[in-house]
């Protein structure tokens, strides 16, 4: 009897050891020199105060501390490339401009108290960076009129573990950047897009939560992006991948949308009237508009009252003008194994009329209308579909071979000549709000060209000290943080843009 009991205990012990090794084994690590790896090499990720000093054992730069009552911008002025600005809990009423490279910002959260940037509904931006190698983590950002965190042509960025609430038009908005990571952020109350990746390349958007915004996550005119394991719920539209015509970057392709939770996106659309996102139908789960080579896999898409997945050409949005360099159709879409349930319970607008022609009152899980070719679906019989007659049987079964779209080496800073300064500033600053022939946040570029014909100084004067002239457009933030030379260069370039 004792021998049998001993054997049982030995077996249980062996099982316990094996289970422990399985459950608690170290996760495999990549040797890619991404911004995360660079930052870990410089000191690591310390979400709070405990352990911070030991985590920074290999850190080579200076640590600049900011406490309640100080200005974060004063620390930026002191900082040199490679430095870490550590911000303690408190309220900081300011816009933080970052035009230096390789500066890290780390909020210290103590007993639930965050360092909080509060715009008071008077300031436009929380963080506004144009430098490369910028890291922003552990901040609460509230009550701005424009953007919580905006990147202007900065490469190799990391934006993580931030809490962005009621921050205006865009919550987190990297524009015209390359090789970046947006992860573990929580955003709500944004009147356009909570996370907006605009004209970027090689971006990972991972493990974020977005809710009570018009658009949860937008990938616009961008390439090589992985959108994975995000929870986007209770927005007007959950997750969007699309082309906006009239922007300097004309394409959007090679996007993987994988393992996301897209749930109950039925919020009434409260975007600015006339803007592109004001055309997003309430109840949209995932919207693919004119983007190519998009893969949808492993997503849980439920409770979206218009449709689970909508695939369309540029005719969906009535105020989108044509751009001869932007091909308007969604081509070569790949729909793999996704879980879809309880979508299309209350279709509206164009979809409601379309379903009425089919004697249906309920919208589909997946709908494709308009142009587009080369699409495939792994198992059409799993879903209620409309317009997928031309979709073939997918030959691939998974996208798991793509672990990340970030690059193995940091992207070098752009070498900007005097001749290119105006163009790149327009790409990185102006085109986030001004497309050529259509309304975005601000008036179309061609309207501004008519107003300021042969008068670049007039543009410089206005962007330096703007006043609100049109009730149906939001107030423009001043651009006086740009040098006088840069303001004139971008004004001159804006008057030459043709499409």
pLDDT digits (tens, 9 = 90+) for 32-41: 323 333 333 3
Lowest mean pLDDT among 37-51, 189-203, 241-255: 37-51
Across the range 76-99, mean pLDDT stands at 96
The encoded tokens of residue 472 equal 């149906």
- Of residues 486 and 179, the one with the higher pLDDT is 179
Question: In this predicted structure, what is the pLDDT of residue 456?
Answer: 73
3-state secondary structure string across 406-457: CCCCCCCCCCCCCCCHHHHHHHHHHCCCECCCCECCCCCHHHHHHHCCCCHH
State the Rg of the chain over Cα: 24
Predicted model pTM: 0.81
More confident residue, 412 or 254: 254
Residues near 468 by beta carbon (within 8 Å), at least 6 away in sequence = 474, 475, 476
pLDDT per residue as tens digits for the range 423-475 = 666 665 666 577 666 666 677 777 777 777 877 776 767 767 777 677 666 67
CATH class label, 421-494:
mainly alpha
Dihedral sign computed on CA atoms, order 247, 253, 254, 260:
positive
**Is pLDDT at 77 greater than 90 in this prediction?**
yes
Rounded Cα gap, residues 465 and 79, in angstroms:
28
> For residue 207, what are the CA distances in angstroms to 184, 203, 286, 311, 491?
5, 13, 17, 24, 39
3-state secondary structure of 287: strand
Instruction: Give the chain's length.
Output: 499
User: What are the residue ranges spanned by the domains of the chain?
Assistant: 28-175, 184-414, 421-494
Q: Do the Cβ atoms of 265 and 232 come closer than 8 Å?
A: yes
Q: For position 420, what pLDDT does the model report?
A: 65
Mean pLDDT over all residues of the chain? 82
Of residues 327, 247, 238, 338, the one with CA closest to residue 291: 327
Closest CA to 480 of 454, 458, 457, 462: 462
């Amino acid at each position: 009897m004792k021998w049998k009991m001993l054997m049982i205990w030995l077996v249980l012990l062996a099982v316990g050891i094996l289970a422990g090794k399985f459950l608690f084994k170290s996760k495999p690590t990549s040797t890619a020199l991404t911004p995360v790896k660079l930052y870990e090499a410089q000191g690591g990720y310390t979400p709070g105060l405990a352990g911070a000093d030991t985590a920074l054992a290999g850190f080579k730069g200076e640590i600049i501390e900011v406490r309640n009552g100080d200005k974060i911008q004063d620390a930026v002025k002191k900082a040199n490339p490679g430095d870490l600005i550590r911000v303690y809990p408190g309220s900081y009423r300011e816009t933080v401009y970052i035009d230096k490279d390789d500066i890290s910002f780390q909020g210290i959260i103590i007993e639930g108290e965050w360092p909080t940037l509060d715009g008071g509904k008077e300031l436009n931006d929380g963080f506004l960076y144009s430098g490369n190698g910028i890291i922003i983590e552990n901040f609460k950002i509230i009550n701005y009129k424009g953007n919580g965190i905006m990147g202007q042509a900065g490469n190799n960025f990391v934006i993580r573990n931030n809490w962005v609430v009621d921050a205006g038009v865009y919550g987190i908005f990297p524009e015209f950047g390359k090789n970046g990571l947006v992860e573990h952020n929580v955003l709500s109350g944004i009147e356009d897009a909570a996370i907006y990746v605009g004209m970027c390349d090689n971006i990972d958007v991972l493990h974020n939560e977005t809710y009570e915004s018009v658009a949860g996550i937008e990938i616009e005119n961008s390439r090589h992006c992985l959108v994975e394991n995000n929870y986007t719920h209770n927005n007007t539209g959950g997750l969007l991948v699309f082309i906006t015509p009239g922007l300097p970057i004309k394409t959007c392709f090679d996007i993987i949308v994988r393992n996301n939770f897209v749930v109950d996106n039925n919020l009434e659309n409260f975007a600015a009237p006339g803007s592109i996102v004001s055309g997003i139908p309430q109840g949209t789960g995932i919207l693919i508009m004119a983007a190519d080579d998009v893969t949808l896999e492993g997503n849980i898409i439920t409770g979206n009252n218009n449709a689970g997945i909508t695939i369309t050409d540029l005719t969906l949005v009535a105020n989108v003008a044509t751009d001869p360099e932007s091909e308007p159709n969604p081509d070569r879409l790949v729909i793999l194994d996704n879980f879809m349930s309880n979508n299309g319970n209350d279709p509206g607008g164009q979809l409601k009329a379309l379903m009425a022609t089919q004697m249906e009152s309920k919208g589909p899980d997946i709908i494709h209308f308009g142009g587009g070719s080369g699409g495939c679906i792994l198992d059409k019989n799993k879903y209620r579909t409309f317009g997928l007659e031309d979709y073939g049987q997918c030959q691939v079964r998974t996208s798991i071979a793509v672990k990340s779209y970030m690059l193995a080496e940091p992207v070098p800073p752009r070498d900007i000549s005097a001749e290119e300064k105006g163009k790149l500033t327009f790409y990185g600053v102006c085109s986030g709000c001004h497309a050529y022939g259509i309304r975005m946040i601000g008036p179309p570029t061609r309207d501004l060209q008519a107003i300021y014909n042969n008068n670049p100084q007039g543009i410089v004067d206005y962007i330096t000290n703007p006043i609100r002239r049109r009730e149906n457009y939001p107030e423009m933030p001043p651009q006086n943080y740009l040098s006088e030379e840069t303001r004139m260069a971008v004004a001159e370039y804006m008057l030459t843009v043709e499409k």
